[in-house]
């Protein structure tokens, strides 16, 4: 080492007073007053001791936590490493939990972490057992890998969760969400590989009293184990429409794509009002809308010229998603998104020869009926004695929750009746 280098290494670690004299030696060469560096030798007195929530804890290397749990206080924990290759916490102990609250009543605060690896591999062990101290804290991680974990454990009543750039590799890294979550949980740019082929535990599942009041959204790239579900949620866990969002997910099991695999999501499916599953590969998507088909002809009685009357006939509905049919002939929107729809119809209307008939598409919002589109056709005398007109078309319409649509018929030139013929149909489809 040159003399200049030696002088530089000495003087970079000292303080100089106003006159240029040597002062007190700085112990932390990083010069970061709000950071506590954690290594194997001091783990028991840093992360394994009483947490100072005003500091960020920095994982310097791979640390065996043994049987010592890290208590996340009500004031929270901030944890960082170099990256998930260099920095990590691991334990092979049985019946062990790595991160815990002091108690259920005391709870924990914000838990923020990034750039490290977690491995908890002991029998009946798990990574988390955390209770939110106030119900308004966050559980947020960036660039975290979980390797061969027996379980990710349990999170209770947190306001929100966020993962970006996380990975789950090996083991059975199941995370259970409990209680009332006021916010949401988003997992973005995340990958899952080499899962256990014997586990039946899902990656995510509902625990005691779990209710997500905002949304759970993910675009994960997942390869599941042979018996493993992706998520075990039910509609009751998501009281708001379209709040379980799977968007751009790539799903395989043992490397194979099978979107009809019923074990992917055993207690909920894409058609549920809770779900908005869009652009996925390997798991089904949600197609909001539905279709109604005339399966029994019923004559519509026209009381007089120019009088509009709902068109009759038994209408059987097909594949209603986020819609229902509260009354025969009506399709009602139950969801909240999207709000723009295309209504298409293909009717064969039998009526009085040379009579002029109008068919109206009607929308009802908060009890107020509006005619949103009309077509007028003249009844033609066709071969075989059939007097019919063809009504076909489409219309774009905005629908809010509880809006419903139906069709009315009007004889503009007399009081003769009309009938929609069998197999006439109409449908609503999200734009």
Please write the tens of the pLDDT for every residue from 339-356.
999 999 999 999 999 999
Every domain of the chain and the residues it spans: 3-278, 289-430
What's the whole-number mean pLDDT along residues 299-305?
Answer: 95
Q: Read off the pLDDT of each residue in 291-316 and give the average, rounded to a whole number.
A: 97
**Residue 156 corresponds to which tokens in the numbers above?**
């209770």
pLDDT at 381: 77
Q: How far apart are CA 356 and CA 415, in angstroms?
A: 11
Chain segment 221-249, per-residue pLDDT in tens: 999 999 999 999 999 999 999 999 999 99
Question: Residue 383: its pLDDT value, please?
Answer: 60
Global pTM reads 0.88
Buried b (16+ CB within 10 A) or exposed e, 34-72: eebbbeeeebeebbbeebeeeebbbbeebbebeebbbbb
User: Minimal CA–CA distance to 140: which of 54, 132, 83, 148?
Assistant: 132
The residue with greater pLDDT, 31 or 253, is 253
Q: Determine phi and psi for 259, rounding to 5 degrees.
A: -65, -10
Using only C-alpha atoms, the chain has a radius of gyration, in whole angstroms, of: 32
CB 332 within 8 A of CB 339: no
CA–CA distance, 35 with 24 (Å, rounded to integer): 19
Q: What is the pLDDT of residue 384?
A: 65
Q: Which residues contact 392 (CB under 8 A, 6 or more apart)?
A: 345, 346, 347
Q: Is a pLDDT exceeding 60 seen at residue 174?
A: yes
Tell me how far apart the alpha carbons of residues 365 and 178 are, in angstroms, rounded to a whole number. Answer: 37
Q: Is the pLDDT of residue 14 over 50?
A: no
Average pLDDT, the chain: 93
- As a whole number, mean pLDDT of residues 144-155 equals 98
Banded model confidence at residue 131, pLDDT cuts 50, 70, 90: very high
HEC per residue, the chain: CCHHHHHHHHHCCEEECCCCCEEEECCCCCCCCCEEEECCCCHHHCCCCCCCCCCEEEECCEEECCCCCEECCCCCEEEEECCCCCCEEEECCCCCEEEECCCCCCCECCEEEEEEEEEECCCCCEEEEEEECCCCCEEEEEEEEEEEECCCEEEECCCEEEEECCEEEEECCCEEEECEECCCEEEECCEEECCCCCCCCCCEEECCCCEECCCEEECCEEEECCCCCCEECCHHHCCCCCCEEEECCEEEECCECCCCCCCCCCCCCCCCCCEEEECCECCCCCCCEEEEEEEECCCECCCCCCCCEECCCEEEEEEEECEECCCCCCEEECCCCCCEEEEEEEEEEECCCCCEEEEEEEEEECCEEEEEEEEEEECEECCCCCEEEEEEEEEEEECCCCCEEEEEEEECCCCCCEEECCCCEEEEEEC
Q: Give the CATH number of domain 289-430; options: 3.10.20.740, 3.30.70.3400, 3.40.50.1980, 2.60.120.40.
A: 2.60.120.40
């Amino acid at each position: 080492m040159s003399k200049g280098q030696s002088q530089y290494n000495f003087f970079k670690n000292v303080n100089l007073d106003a006159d240029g004299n040597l002062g007190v030696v700085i112990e932390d060469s990083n010069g970061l007053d709000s950071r506590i560096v954690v290594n194997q030798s001091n783990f028991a007195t840093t992360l394994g001791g009483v947490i100072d929530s005003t500091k960020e804890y920095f994982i310097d290397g791979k640390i065996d936590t043994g049987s010592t749990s890290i208590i996340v206080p009500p004031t929270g924990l901030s944890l960082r490493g170099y990256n998930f290759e260099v920095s990590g916490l691991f334990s092979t102990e049985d019946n062990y939990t790595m991160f815990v609250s002091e108690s259920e009543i005391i709870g924990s605060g914000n838990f923020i972490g990034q750039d490290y690896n977690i491995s908890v591999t002991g029998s009946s062990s798990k990574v988390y057992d955390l209770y939110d101290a106030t119900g308004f804290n966050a559980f947020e991680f960036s660039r975290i890998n979980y390797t061969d974990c027996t379980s990710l454990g349990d999170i209770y009543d947190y306001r929100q969760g966020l993962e970006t750039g996380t990975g789950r590799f090996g083991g059975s890294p199941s995370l259970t969400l409990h209680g009332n979550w006021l916010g949401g949980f988003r997992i973005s740019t995340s990958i899952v590989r080499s899962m256990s082929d014997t586990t039946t535990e899902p990656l995510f599942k509902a625990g005691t009293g779990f209710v997500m009041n905002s949304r759970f959204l993910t675009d994960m790239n997942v390869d599941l184990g042979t018996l493993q579900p992706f998520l075990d949620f039910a509609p009751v866990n998501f009281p708001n429409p379209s709040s379980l969002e799977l968007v751009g997910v790539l799903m395989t099991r043992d490397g194979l794509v099978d979107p009809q695999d019923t074990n992917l999501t055993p207690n909920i499916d894409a058609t549920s009002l809770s779900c908005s599953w869009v652009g996925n590969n390997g798991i089904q998507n949600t197609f909001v809308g539905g279709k109604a088909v005339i399966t029994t002809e019923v004559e519509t009685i026209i009381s007089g010229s120019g009088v509009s009357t709902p068109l009759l006939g038994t209408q059987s509905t097909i594949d209603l998603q986020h819609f229902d049919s509260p009354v025969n002939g009506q399709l009602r929107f139950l969801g909240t998104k999207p709000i723009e729809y295309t209504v298409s119809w293909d009717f064969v209307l039998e009526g009085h020869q040379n009579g002029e008939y109008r068919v109206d598409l009607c929308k009802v919002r908060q009890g107020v009926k509006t005619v949103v589109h009309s077509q007028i056709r003249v009844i033609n005398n066709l071969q075989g004695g059939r007097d019919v007109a063809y009504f076909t078309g489409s219309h774009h319409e905005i629908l809010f929750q509880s809006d419903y649509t139906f069709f009315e018929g009007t004889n503009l030139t007399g009081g003769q009746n009309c009938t929609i013929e069998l197999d006439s149909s109409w449908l609503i489809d999200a734009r």
